[in-house]
Each structure stands twice: as C-alpha cells, then as structure tokens.
Amino acid sequence: MSGCECKPARSVSAIARNLQHRAQPSSYEPVWKLKTMIAKVLTIAGSDPSGGAGIQADLKTFSRLRVYGMAVITALTAQNTKGVAAIQNVDPGFVGKQLDMVLADLPPDAVKTGILANASIVEVVAAKFGEYGISKLVIDPVLASTSGAPLLDPGAIDSLRRTLMPFALLVTPNAREAEILAGREVRTIESMEEAARAIHGYGPKYVLVKGGHIEGDATDILFDGSRFLRFRSQRVAATDSHGTGCVLSAAIAAYLALGRDVVEAVQLGKQFVTEAIRNGLRIGSGRGPCDPLGLEK
C-alpha cells in the first residue's frame, strides 16, 4: 500500500493556465485551430437554483480551471441553503436529445455525471455513452442530498451499477454512497478499501471512496483494481461546504480533460475542493456553499 500526502493548492488557476498553455499549438496556427484545442467538459446533472451544487457548481469549477463547460440537465430542484423542497425530473427522451445535440457537435474531452434521478435516465445516458464512445467519464453517484432528500430512485441503483459503471474511468462515492453501492458498512479506512474493491467489480477502472464522513483526517481511498492509494489532507473546520462532491468530481473531470492522469487529477481535485471549502461563503440562512471561484480572495 502506498500513500499520497496532499498539500493545499497554492494557485489552482495557475496550474490550469499552465496545462491549457501546454495544450495550445504555436501562435502562428490559424485561429480556428486554436479554438479547437480548448478543453471541453460536459456535466450531466441536476440544477440547483441556489447555485451551490449541481450544474451551477460544476460550471463554476470548469470556468475557474479554464476549460469550456457544457451541461445536460437531468432534474430541476427547488432548493436553497436550508435543503431540498422538491424535484422535477426531466423526461428521459429529452435528456437523450440534449446529449445528441452536444455529443454530435462538441465532443467533450471529459464527462462527469451527478444527479441521474431514475433508471430510465441512467439507461438513456449509458446508451448515449456507448453510441458516442465516451472514455473519460467521472461518475459522482449522487444518491441523496446532505439534508436527506433522495436524488436517485432506489430501483435505479442496479441500473447504475449494471449499465453505467462499466463506462466509467472513475467513480467517486462518499462513504454513505459507498455503503449502498457496495452493500456493506463503511466506517473505517479498511472498510473504505473493501467497499472500493466491491464497487470496482461493477466495471469502473478506478474507484475513489471519499472519507469526508469518516472520523479523523480527510482521507480518500483510490483503487485501480490492484493497489490502493490514500490521499490525506487536514480536515477543514467549515460549516459552509454545500456542493463539495460536485466540485470535486467536476475538478477531476477538468484536470482529466487537460491531460492529467487519474492519480494526478484526483490529487489536484482534492487540493481544489479543499481550497473551495476554506473559501466557503457565509450566505443564506442555512449551510452555505463552498466557493470554487474564490470570490472573496
């Protein structure tokens, strides 16, 4: 077993600019060629009108990391900093139409999924991934909100495992989601590793079990089918951290699009979300959002 000790990011924007600069052709290339080199990332997720999570958090993260963000909406939520009041799922056929329009015209360099709502949407998304040959896919298996509101029908969990996970480069469950996906209790580092191994059996190339709900330092476990890597960081004492799972998976997808390998993307993504938590915004009367944009810096 080996470990990775994560240090706070000094300048996330500088890292992204450097990666984007290295991806650019020389200045004498035609303008249309320069434009085609911009890294593109697609999020397939729900909308949070309060801006703290979902596609809103994803797009903010993409912008901060200087990649071009696109979004296919699977569900509309009525929520704020105090919780989720209602959810309206998008018709699966319309989700498929959104995907056709984006994937046929603007092939993404990486894709992430968030709220997928029900089995029909999961299966449409999986079918489109197979049709268009998506390779760099990050699945954030959003099963419920922090306040406890269900965001994926229980009957859709099998569809997620069976039809979507085989396409994934990386799956990023938190401890509670890992318990449901793996069918076992997750309370310690050792049980996180057992859950990662079980989830890996459903087909993703990598599994990242996040330790935000486990006592002690914030330790995440990455499993590639043969070895475990531990990513540790000091736990940030912050109450305004809404949207952290969305921001982490979006940042990882952005770094993958910029050419980083999975281990590098996970380490940089963890640094990015740790910074966003430190920058959490004290807005609203409930749990405020983490801040991927660094608005108060």
| Mean pLDDT for all residues in the chain | 89
Cα–Cα distance measured from residue 222 to residue 262, given in angstroms and rounded to the nearest whole number: 10
Full-model pTM: 0.88
Q: What is the pLDDT of residues 225-245, one digit of tens each?
A: 999 999 987 778 788 999 999
The answer to whether residue 291 is domain-embedded is no
Q: What is the pLDDT of residues 116-154, one digit of tens each?
A: 999 999 999 999 999 999 999 999 999 987 767 788 998
The answer to whether residue 289 is domain-embedded is no
The answer to whether residue 49 is domain-embedded is yes
The answer to whether residue 181 is domain-embedded is yes
Q: What is the reported pLDDT for 19?
A: 56
Does pLDDT of 8 surpass 50? Answer: no
The answer to whether residue 36 is domain-embedded is yes
Could you count the other beta carbons within 10 Å of the beta carbon of residue 125? 28
Phi-psi label, residue 148: left if phi above 0, alpha if psi -120 to 50, beta otherwise: left
The answer to whether residue 194 is domain-embedded is yes
Give the domain extent around 56: 2-278
Does pLDDT of 251 surpass 80? Answer: yes
Looking at residue 6, which CATH number applies to its domain?
Answer: 3.40.1190.20
The answer to whether residue 288 is domain-embedded is no
Specify the DSSP class assigned to residue 236: P
Q: What is the reported pLDDT for 14?
A: 55
Number of structural domains the chain divides into = 1
The answer to whether residue 106 is domain-embedded is yes
